[in-house]
Amino acid sequence: MYEIFVGLDISKGSFAACAIRQEKDKLFEFSAPMNMEGFKELAQHLSKFSKDSILIGLESSGCYHINLSSFLSRNGYHTIVINPLLISNFMKLSLRKTKTDRKDAFAIACFLTMFHGSLPQSCFLSPDFRELARERERLSSEIARLKNDIEKLLSVTFPELLRATNVCSRAILNLLGHYPSAWMIKSLPASEIARLIEPKTRVSPGRELILSQKASQLLLLEGELKKLTDMLTQMCHKSAPEDLRILKSIKGIGDITALHFLAEVGDVSRFENYKKLIAYAGLDPTVHQSGKFEGQSRISKRGNRHLRRVLWLMATKVARYNHTFREYFLRRRAEGISYKKAILAVAHKLIRVIFAMLSHKTCFRVSQNSL
């Protein structure tokens, strides 16, 4: 049972700390720089109490909270990273509009005293795992954008190649890196290539240069993406091999989507029920109603956008390849709802099934269709 609640308000160069008891009596309050000296000062204040009696809360603040959170975790303190939206809504309950770093730290500590029982605990995976997964997500988006740009440029500089082959294969990208148009390839001594391609004029030297650069960038990014994927796979097989195996037992869920799901969710036991997981992903419904007016229901989109993206991908795959989810998807479509709403319904069902599977450590069975 926690007795001491510590709120940390973090900015780029400093942080404010406030510790209180359940009765909201302040035990200490101070500000310190975001460096090792400041971290040690916080540890000195915390050393007056038993570690098991302390719960520390800090807002997710981009990358700024990571070093302090990692320092506290390494030293055995129970630490929770809180969604800033929860703290913002909690602070709106106060009529006083004064805002300082120390008051924000006090507000976080007060929030912990009231809601610590319903907050998720720390993830069982390394903190680096989520960062790697999100970097992989960013690289994947960049690669998709580059592929689109390359196809647009080829429609001008080399339309024959665009129609004849997969232009984003490694061999073709290597070719385009040196010879980004039919005009340049014709200049090669290979008589066979010259016979196949008969361009009359050089269409766009500028586009050729851009295409060459983009082809080289794409090759580089694909190499970096493979490194990230390999590292993520190794970390997950080491830390959560059973959970990875359970997720992949659902036909339609592969290594990549399973890795990203685990990176964002961590240990599913930190959620009280599947509804909390749905809300965490921002897939919970919202209803706008006033008097006799009732607006259209939408998902809240107030949760983890990275998890929401991977759940959408998982839902589209299982709706296509998994017989159980495919039947459910077709049934919802037959009821007259749109494709997107049917996929959203599949995502909700998928979360319920995954939550049950990971909670009971069992692989997918068709009988779970009733969940």
Ranges of each domain in the chain: 4-119, 128-239, 241-370
Query: What local confidence, expressed as pLDDT, does residue 7 receive?
Result: 93
d(CA 180, CA 209): 7
| Token couple for 16 | 């404010």
More reliable by pLDDT, 176 or 10: 10
Q: Which two tokens stand for residue 207?
A: 């586009």
Can you give the pLDDT at residue 129? Answer: 78
Task: Tell me the two tokens of residue 308.
Answer: 């929401």
Q: How far apart are CA 254 and CA 262, in angstroms?
A: 12
Tell me what pLDDT residue 60 has: 73
Between vectors from CA 357 to CA 352 and to CA 358, what angle results, nearest 5°? 100
Q: How far is CA 98 from CA 14, 112, 113, 305, in A?
A: 19, 20, 21, 31
Which CATH number is associated with domain 4-119? 3.30.420.40
- As given in the structure block, the two tokens for residue 51 are 């570690």
Name the most confidently modeled range: 70-79, 82-91, 165-174.
70-79
Tens-place pLDDT, residues 87-106: 887 877 765 566 787 888 99
Q: What is the pLDDT of residue 75?
A: 87
* Averaged confidence pLDDT in the chain: 83
- Tell me the whole-structure pTM to 2 decimals: 0.65
Q: What is residue 188's predicted lDDT score, i.e. its pLDDT?
A: 64
The pLDDT tens digits for 233-266 are: 888 888 788 999 999 999 999 999 999 999 888 8
Which is nearest to 32 in space by CA: 6, 4, 5?
Answer: 6
* Residue 110 pLDDT > 80: yes
128-158 b/e (C-beta count within 10 Å ≥ 16 → b) = ebbebbeebbebbeebeebbeebeebbeebb
| DSSP codes, 311-351 | HHHHHHHHHHH-HHHHHHHHHHHHTT--HHHHHHHHHHHHH
Q: Is 363 within 8 Å of 249 (Cβ atoms)?
A: yes
Q: What integer is the mean pLDDT of 154-171?
A: 80
CATH 3.40.1190.10 corresponds to the domain 128-239: no
- pLDDT confidence bin for 207, thresholds 50/70/90: confident
Q: What are phi and psi of 366, to 5 degrees?
A: -60, -30
pLDDT greater than 60 at residue 191: no
Confidence of residue 369 (pLDDT cuts 50, 70, 90): very low
pLDDT in tens, 112-162: 888 877 665 555 555 677 778 888 899 999 999 999 998 888 888 788 777
Both tokens of 235, joined, read 């970390």
Per-residue pLDDT tens over the stretch 294-342? 545 677 777 889 999 999 999 999 999 999 999 999 999 999 999 999 9
Sequential DSSP letters for 27-44: EEEEEEESSHHHHHHHHH
Bridge-based pairing state of the strands 54-59 and 26-33: unpaired
